[in-house]
Amino acid sequence: MTQITLLTPDDWHLHFRDGDMLQETVPATARLFQRAIVMPNLLPPVTDAKMVNAYRERILAARPQGSSFEPLMTLFLTNDTTKQDIIDAKAAGVVAAKLYPAGATTNSDAAVKALDSLFPIFEKMAEIGMLLLVHGEVTESHIDIFDREAIFIERNLTRIVDVFPSLKVVFEHITTKEAAEFVASTSDNVAATITPQHLLLNRNDLLVGGIRPHNFCLPVLKRNIHQQALRAAVATGSNKFFLGTDSAPHEKHRKESACGCAGCYSAWGALELYAQVFDDLGVIDKLEGFASTHGPDFYGLPRNTSTLTLIKETWTVPSEIILPNGKPIVPFFAGEEVNWKVKG
């Protein structure tokens, strides 16, 4: 196949950041995606309806002229989140709340330290139909970084799913065989997003021949058996897995640093890279489910009605993009060839 037409896709997990960075990130995503689940890990984090409304306005103001792109807003859970915060957020159009274990990832210091104390909040979310999005890694310093996702499932996720069977949970950016198996075998109210980098790469791509900071993200890339398990999971066409790029920009100097930030800025090539993966797996016919229908169906939102066409044509991801503040950022897959391209 050399061409494929899909219902317009949505991105079910990304980071737009704030301020003048929005001038870069919002158009980059609005180019191809109709909607995106916008992560709330700003500094300070987006913790109430008022902050959500203000952030949504800043995103809408950064859309290109004539764009109908729609940001889907999320709330950042802390140990101070109240049931009223959840009710007010729902009224403000928030579709999901995000659980970050404190210290698990970028800008998560203000996040959740005592998981069980949030159970009344999860109960309220289940009751009013707000989804729970989870960064699934334990954070204890003695636990090996490569084991943190699998241990989170055992210790925390299984329990949340058991106690709140009607709560819809998205296990974000899964990276392991254990996660893929858990999602496939558990309740229909649990789904997962998968990033392009975790389908395309494994930890050799981070560490062999020198450290490659632009492939560093969290959860960190795992060994190749995990990459294979994620590829196998999407190849099944199961509606429990859907597109979430986790596009997470950091300026070049913050990635190429003695203590480099985690996150890959993939917005410019993500859809095309997913197409490449599905094509390599011989399941390009499964791309539309992953990119365009499984997500809205799980969230209980309408599917998009417009379409987008990808053609098999080679192009090269730019080596750098200049941000509105004049500083460079290195996009994910910089300087590498991609063999699918969006038509027009």
Which residues does the annotation mark as catalytic? Answer: 246
Record the tokens describing residue 233, joined without a space: 């999971």
Measured in degrees and rounded to the nearest 5, phi and psi for residue 98 equal -110, 125
**Residue closest to Zn ion when measured from CB atoms:** 135
Closer to ligand NCD at the Cβ: 219 or 296? Answer: 219
**Euclidean distance between CA atoms 72 and 12, whole angstroms:** 9
Q: Tell me the CA distances in angstroms from 101 to 43, 112, 310, one per residue in order.
A: 16, 5, 38
Q: Tell me the closest approach of the beta carbon of residue 167 to ligand NCD, in angstroms.
A: 21
Instruction: Tell which one of 135, 226, 255, 286 touches Zn ion (CB under 5 A).
Output: 135
Q: Which stretch binds Zn ion (CB under 5 A): 59-67, 135-143, 148-156, 315-323?
A: 135-143
Residue 324, token pair as written in the block: 């509105």
Query: 135 or 294: whose CB is closer to ligand NCD?
Result: 135
Q: How many residues bind Zn ion (CB under 5 A)?
A: 3
246 binds Zn ion per the rule CB under 5 A? yes
Residue entry with tokens 């960190």: 220
What is the spatial distance between Cα 1 and Cα 234, in angstroms, rounded to a whole number?
19
Closest to Zn ion by CB, 94 vs 310, is 94
Interacting residue ranges for ligand NCD, rule: CB under 6 A: 15, 41, 105-106, 135, 217-218, 246, 248, 262-263
How many C-beta neighbours within 10 Å does residue 141 have? 5
Give the residue with the Cβ less far from Zn ion, 271 or 308.
271
Residue type, 270: A
Which neighbouring-strand residues pair with 315? 338
105 binds Zn ion (CB under 5 A): yes
Short-list 283, 303, 305, CA closest to 293:
303
In the complex, minimum distance from the CB of residue 14 to Zn ion, in angstroms, rounded to a whole number: 7
> Is 253 one of the annotated binding-site residues?
no
Do the annotations mark residue 294 as ligand-binding?
no
Measured between alpha carbons, how far is residue 243 from residues 25, 119, 207 in Å?
17, 28, 26
* 148 is an interface residue for Zn ion by CB under 5 A: no
Q: Where is the binding site for substrate, in residues?
A: 15-17, 41, 135, 218, 250, 262
Which residues participate in the annotated binding site? 13, 15-17, 41, 98, 135, 173, 218, 246, 250, 262
